[in-house]
Amino acid sequence: MTKDMPMPKFVHTLNSGAAMYHSQELPGANRIARVGTVAYGVEPSEGEMGPIDKLKPIFTLKSKLSFVKKHSCW
């Protein structure tokens, strides 16, 4: 079905967990990985496939509360 279709230069096929634990199962698919939670030090399998403290965060997300809206519930 896609034999004659042009393919994009880069194809995203792996998320954090797949990049860490399944990249060998998808040969050619590991060109681009979308690493989300691993950048913050969160182990994607929650300890099932690797130690929970395996990763160290490279980013920190901080925020300040800027507005609180009071809402009546009926």
Residues 21-73 have pLDDT tens digits of: 877 776 666 567 777 888 888 888 787 887 777 788 887 888 999 999 988 88
Residue whose C-alpha is closest to residue 31's, from 46, 14, 56, 44: 14
How high is the pLDDT of residue 24?
73
How high is the pLDDT of residue 12?
66
How high is the pLDDT of residue 71?
86
β strands within 1-74, DSSP E: 12-15, 32-34
Taking 70 as the threshold, does the pLDDT of residue 11 lie above it? no
